[in-house]
Amino acid sequence: MNLRFDKVIRSVGFGLRKVYSLVLNDDALYLIKTGSVGALKHFQLNTDRQVAVIGPRTDRGVKEILANEAAIDTTPIGALQQTDHDHYRIRLEAIEAVAIKQGKSPEMLIKLTGSDHYLMFPFATFDDVQTLQRALNKWTLKP
């Protein structure tokens, strides 16, 4: 199974948040840092539920997010994950629980052995996030 979510906000502690792309494949869940949360004000969902740039494409934050998301398309995910200390590879076997909450933006908590990841999905539907939850929950059902 391959799933990808772009422009996901990850709380990294004490009000600090960063923007990530999540990539789930049969090997692992990858969190690839793509930019700063302030740049998201330049994006919105259009009527087709596609994310569109509404601010200047010359904005440094917008360019950073778009370039980093494009790199995910062209670079092997394992190699990309090793390029930055803010990228994470989560072993699927380390997932202990996955919980989601519906709100203005769907939220997800992924509990791992030794850490937790708090994620917000401002451009995804609750149904899409439920699909990710179901895929991750397969790994929480350990014998």
Q: Is residue 46 part of a domain?
A: yes
The pLDDT tens digits of the residues spanning 57-114 come to 788 999 999 999 999 999 888 777 777 767 889 999 999 999 999 988 999 999 998 8
Phi, psi at residue 17, to the nearest 5°?
-130, 145
Please report the pLDDT score of residue 1 as a whole number. 61
For residue 143, tell me if it sits in a domain.
Answer: no
Q: Is 102 helix (H, G, I), strand (E, B) or coil?
A: coil
Tell me if 8 is assigned to some domain: yes
Count of alpha carbons within 13 angstroms of residue 38, beta-carbon side: 4
Q: What is the CATH number of the domain that holds 104?
A: 2.30.29.30
Q: How confident is the model at residue 29, as a pLDDT? A: 94
> Has residue 19 been placed in a domain?
yes
Domain count, the chain: 1
The answer to whether the beta carbons of residues 110 and 119 sit under 8 Å apart is: yes
| pLDDT, mean over the chain | 89
User: Is residue 142 assigned to a domain?
Assistant: no
Q: Which range of residues forms the domain containing residue 83?
A: 3-137
Q: Are 111 and 98 in contact (CB under 8 A)?
A: yes
CB-CB contact of 59 with 46 (8 Å): no
Whether 117 is covered by a domain: the verdict is: yes
The CA R_g of the chain, rounded to the nearest whole Å, is 15
116 assigned to some structural domain: yes
Examine residue 63 and state whether it is found in any structural domain, yes or no: yes
